[in-house]
Structure 1
Amino acid sequence: MAKSKKALTSAPTDKSEALTEHLLDVAASFFLKNGFAGSSVTQIAREARASKESFYSRFPTKEDLFRAVIQRQTDHMSGKMSALFISDAPIAVTLTSFGEGFLARFMADDTITLQRTLSLDRGKFPELGRMFYELGPARMIGALSRYLEQQVSQSKLRELNSEAAAHHFLGLIISETMLKVTLGVSPKPNKDAQQRIVKSAVDVFLHGYTK
């Protein structure tokens, strides 16, 4: 009897969570296709076949909806990437795994589209770029910084400014491709090319920071 009661009480929650995920899926598609300025809650609600009340009860403003879309994407990525930081594994192995994962995510079609969208909307909505940075890149930099500090404490790396070093490493990875790919000047590097880019970044980074 107790089991049946639990099942009955959990069903509405499951249904509500499923609806929230559906709304975020539709909103993400709209933001990527039309940009922030070109998307409206009314349009998104119509496409999702949901009432505006369903949106506003979960996301009071369009900015809240956008944040939730980015938060969901970056939460998954952050958890996946943070799991790569194994303190007793060889540094080169850990940095390579992290670098390849970061570059693959950075070069993903939806990420590139989102960056272009944010660039177009930043004049009217400068807070969106800050929001994306705080929820995405800043979390990656923070996780990498903490890992580097741990390696310093174990005397595997020389003394360093961990945040600056994290920026250096990620800069080595994306500097070769970011501008050209984002502007559409050159195609995205394939998997083999991405691996070569990361290997070079790891070699240069360790040459500068290994004791």
Structure 2
Amino acid sequence: MPDGTIEPKKGRKFDQVLEGARQVFLSDGFEGASVDDIAKAAGVSKATLYSYFPDKRFLFMQVAKTECARQADHAIETINMDAPVQKVLCDIAMEMVDFITSQFGKRIFRICVGESDRFPELGREFYESGPMLIRNRLVEYFQKAVAKGELNITDFELAAEQFHELCKADLFPRMVFNMTDEFTPAEKSRVINGAVEMFMARYGT
């Protein structure tokens, strides 16, 4: 199996293959997705697909990593990190909640959990490209906020994990156990505001 840290070969139809794979994985899951269906959705031959990605697991991880990186980049581009800390935390929480409850976020999580016995590396690699990436970005922001006297944090990694978990309160368990698949803006705002208020009560200055 290729290692998750290996970068795939790029080429003219690389993005095309990734998008086709994204569509098929979302609709059919990891087990149900076939290379034939992915090639058809991408509009390429199987030979072209295999020239970029040697197996389905490697392709799946590249889809997950690409989407997680896109979400992180979007957050960086749209959030004003120089705004008051409470506003920044609200904006970060909104991005996190939107991703957690998105069709892609839900499906990818379920695929990683469902395939964890056969492919334990899927969960590890997804954690490194998703939750760990978010944690690292939060740590960077918290360090700057502490330097400016806006937050009082000593264990940055723990604080980042705590904020991430606060943003999953109520919504994530209901989603994981299939109690509901859709959340209203009011439901999201309730969790976001509660997460920021609790976090600031602990770490605010």
Q: Secondary structure at the match of 1:197?
A: helix
Once the two structures are TM-superposed, the CA of residue 41 in structure 1 deviates from its matched residue by 2.2
The runs of 5 or more residues in structure 1 that have no matched partner are 1-15
Once the two structures are TM-superposed, the CA of residue 100 in structure 1 deviates from its matched residue by 0.7
What letter is aligned with 2:191? Answer: I
Partner of 1:29: 23
1:19 to 13, 23, 27: 13
Partner of 1:79: 73
Indicate the RMSD between aligned Cα atoms, in angstroms.
1.9
What letter is aligned with 2:189? Answer: Q
Bigger shift: residues 30-39 or 100-109: 30-39
Partner of 1:167: 161
Counterpart mapping for 1:88-107 below 5 A: 88-107=82-101
**Residues 35 and 206 of structure 1: CA distance in aligned 2, closer, same or farther (over 3 Å):** same
1:193 to 187, 191, 205: 187
What letter is aligned with 1:106? Answer: I
Aligned residues: 196
Alpha-carbon displacement from aligned partner over 1:40-83 (angstroms, at most 9, x marks no partner): 32342244342222012111222221122112211211111123
Contact 2:79 2:91 in 1 (8 A): no
Partner of 2:4: none
Once the two structures are TM-superposed, the CA of residue 123 in structure 1 deviates from its matched residue by 1.1
CA distance, structure 2, for counterparts of residue 183 and residue 190 of structure 1 = 18
Contact 1:70 1:135 in 2 (8 A): yes
Once the two structures are TM-superposed, the CA of residue 165 in structure 1 deviates from its matched residue by 0.4
Q: Secondary structure at the match of 2:44?
A: coil
Contact 1:84 1:94 in 2 (8 A): no
**If the length of structure 1 is used for normalisation, what is the TM-score?**
0.84
Question: Which has the larger helix fraction?
Answer: 1
The runs of 5 or more residues in structure 2 that have no matched partner are 1-9
Once the two structures are TM-superposed, the CA of residue 94 in structure 1 deviates from its matched residue by 0.2
Counterpart mapping for 1:56-75 below 5 A: 56-75=50-69
Bigger radius of gyration: 1
Bigger shift: residues 48-57 or 148-157: 48-57
Q: Could you list the structure 1 runs, at least 4 aligned residues long, displaced by more than 6 angstroms after superposition.
A: none
Q: Identical aligned pairs, as a percentage?
A: 27
